Amino acid sequence: MRKLWLVAAVAAPVLVVGMTSASLAQVRAPGAVHAAGGVAGKRTGLAEHVPFCKELGKRYLASSGAYMYCFGAQRSTASHARPAVREAADGSPLNVDAATVSEDVNPAGVQADGQSETSIAASGPYVVEAWNDATSFFTSCPAPMSKEEGTGFGFSANGGKTFQDLGGLPNAHCNTDDYAGDPSVAAYQAGGHTYFYISSLYLPVTGLGPTNVAMDACTVTGSGPTATLSCGQPIIIGTSTECQRIQIGPHQFGQFCSFLDKDYIAIDPANGRLYGTYSEFLLRSPGSRETMSVCDLGSPGGGPGPAGGTPSAPVCKHGTTRLPAPHHYFVGKPYFTVAGANRNGCENEGSYPAVDPATGNVYVAYEFNIFTDEFAPCNGAGTPTTDVMTKTPFSCLPLAATAACSGPAARIAVPIVSLNATPVAGYNRFASNDFPRLAVSDNYGVVSMVWNDTRFHPLGDILLESFGLNSLAPVQAEPVVLDAPASGGMHMFPAVRTSTAAGLLDVAWYSRKSTSTSVTNVDAVLGLNPLTTVSPSSNIRITTVGSNWDNAASVIVPNFGDYIDDALSTTGTPPYVGSTLYVAWSDGRLGVPQPFEAHLPG
């Protein structure tokens, strides 16, 4: 039996950051000097000045959205080192590009290659997929179809058979803050209508001021194949809790703030709630913490909820107002702290929420000591790299400025063997991740976690472990390998969201048949019993064509994002899930990364 580690947070020493007025002027000036390896375009140059960006790739690992924001466009040309391989898979579902390559063009006629890092949700015949969109690098505010936004999305009214590329998320405030990628999509039915919520990083265009997570609330209008999607304006669901006041000139002041990253959302349909989790890289202490916010979506009948929210106009609670503190700091409190910052600066990242629809309890998993496990003191014998699972009761999470509890009621940490120091051929970022994904299965009384892990093979396997809903006691003595046959190759970025009506799991992931190829597919295991102790005898192939990552040109780092997604269709009545599974991933079969979709049954 392996050890399970209890994770605790301890207060850390203060760090002070600052910058000169000259360097600040360079950030604010149009056409500021861009980062090494970048190309002239929007959001370049910030890496030289923003404290968080200075540490990115040196001290911390962060999201694709953070890399987009800090470093701007970074060309990654196709090497053509290996021939393209077309791997037809008999019986694979229809693969559909949810974007349109001809839309990935800025108003001046520049093609922007790189649409990756996908999330998906569906309800009835309606499907929304969102992704990081490279068109934003070369587009100024305001632009037609909001192309200046770093989060793009597409809509299908025919169950995912075809999509309309809708450009970027609507944002009337693009002159001050932009959507910056890392999308998460969730669907909700209320009052006979269908709604979609698309969250994303939402960051100041100058690098000054609070960083945020925001979402657009979108409503399906009309019906059938002619239905359309109407989206509102950004709703803040998370914001910096720490800022440092800095002097720009004799009579001017600005702020650098803690950086929010890696958002994901989950809906409690029984109670009309939306929960958002994200990492916060702090100013006053090393490392990062995992935090959560809550939004009132209104009543299941479509009327106002306890906080006055409605499905089309949610009301979100994300902590207290920042107050002045010594040394020109402004300090607030998040709505709920899932995991505090580690005293040695060991990084928390990649939080992912799931809601138990029967109880309203919220489970959040995240990775502890990612990337910092390569450096002292976080690579010490007493600091393992772990994927951590937490449970927070519904009673702790009122619709108020802050939660009623100081932290989760239960927590368990599973030691992992990380992929983050292993280069993956064709993947243009120096590091990968081992972020956990989870789903609740009331039928079996467990919450299950999946992640990629290198304990058996150097390029990873997909592992599963389930835990009791109340105590988080592990069900299996050891994690179960899901990729079959478990004989090598590469397997990473698993996706799972909710269990089926029968309580079974559908898990998808990136897969390569051997370590000698960059040809990448998406495989899955369907209808998995979460209590299993035996690896599946076979997997199914989702992709109809293998994508050679060496042959894909991109201006986004990482070129294929750092997650994929799958989701069962949403219904308005218990158990709130339908029978169609939707899978979303970034695919290079066209020579550039594009956001693809498949659904089962077709």
- Residue range 527-533: average pLDDT? 98
What amino acid occupies position 95? N
Q: Note the pLDDT tens digit of each residue in 79-133.
A: 544 444 555 556 789 999 999 999 999 999 999 999 999 999 999 999 999 999 9
Task: Tell me which of 65 and 339 has the higher pLDDT.
Answer: 339
Cα separation, 171 vs 347, in Å, equals 31
* CA atoms of 506 and 433, how far apart (whole Å): 21
Q: Hey, which CATH number is domain 21-555+571-600, 3.10.580.10, 2.120.10.10, 3.40.50.1000, 1.10.3720.10?
A: 2.120.10.10
Residue 15: is its pLDDT beyond 60? Answer: no
Q: Judge whether 160 and 118 are in contact, CB under 8 Å.
A: no
pLDDT at 322: 84
Tell me the pLDDT of the chain averaged across its residues: 89
Give pLDDT, residue 78. 59
Structure confidence at residue 46 as a pLDDT band (50, 70, 90): low
- The residue among 552, 555, 537, 536 whose CA lies nearest residue 596 is 552
Query: What pLDDT does 97 receive?
Result: 98
Nearest one of 548, 552, 533 to 482, comparing CA atoms? 533
The band of 323, judged by pLDDT with boundaries at 50, 70 and 90, is confident
- The residue ranges of every structural domain in the chain are 21-555+571-600
Q: For a pLDDT cut of 70, what percent of the chain falls above it? A: 90
Mean pLDDT of 242-252: 83
**How is 465-510 classified by DSSP, letter by letter?**
EEEETTT--BSSSS-EE-SSS-SSSEEEEEE-----TTS-EEEEEE
Interatomic CA distance for residues 84 and 513, integer angstroms = 15
372 has pLDDT over 90? yes
* pLDDT higher than threshold 60 for residue 247: yes
Q: What's the helix, strand, coil split of the chain in %, to 5?
A: 10, 40, 50
Percentage of residues in the chain having pLDDT higher than 90? 78
CA neighbor of 350 nearest in space, from 464, 438, 263, 288: 263
Max mean pLDDT among 10-14, 81-85, 392-396 falls in: 392-396
Length of the chain measured in residues = 602
Q: 189-246, pLDDT tens digit by residue?
A: 999 999 999 999 999 998 889 999 999 999 999 999 999 999 999 999 999 999 998 8
Beta carbons of 137 and 72 less than 8 angstroms apart: yes
Other CB atoms closer than 10 Å to residue 248's CB: what's the count? 16
Would you place residue 400 in the very low, low, confident or very high pLDDT band (cuts 50, 70, 90)? very high
H helix and E strand count, the chain: 3, 36
Question: Among positive and negative, which fits the CA dihedral 422, 423, 425, 428?
Answer: positive
C-alpha dihedral sign at 21, 24, 29, 35? positive
pLDDT at 72 over 50: yes
> Cα–Cα distance between 32 and 42 in angstroms, integer?
9
Tokens of 133: 């969109």
Q: Mean pLDDT, to the nearest integer, of 531-545?
A: 96
The answer on pLDDT for 41 being more than 60 is no
Strands 577-587 and 565-570: antiparallel
d(CA 187, CA 183): 14
Tokens encoding 160: 């995912």
Q: How far apart are the first and last CA of the chain?
A: 42
Is residue 487 over pLDDT 80?
Answer: no
Q: Sign of the CA dihedral 469, 473, 475, 480?
A: positive
- Residue 5's pLDDT band (boundaries 50, 70, 90)? very low
pLDDT in tens, 424-436: 999 998 889 999 9
Give the per-residue pLDDT at 32.
30
Tell me the three state secondary structure of residue 412: strand
Please give the DSSP secondary-structure letter assigned to residue 308: S
What lies within 8 Å, CB to CB, of 598 at 6+ separation is 92, 93, 94, 95, 96, 160, 522, 542, 543, 582, 583
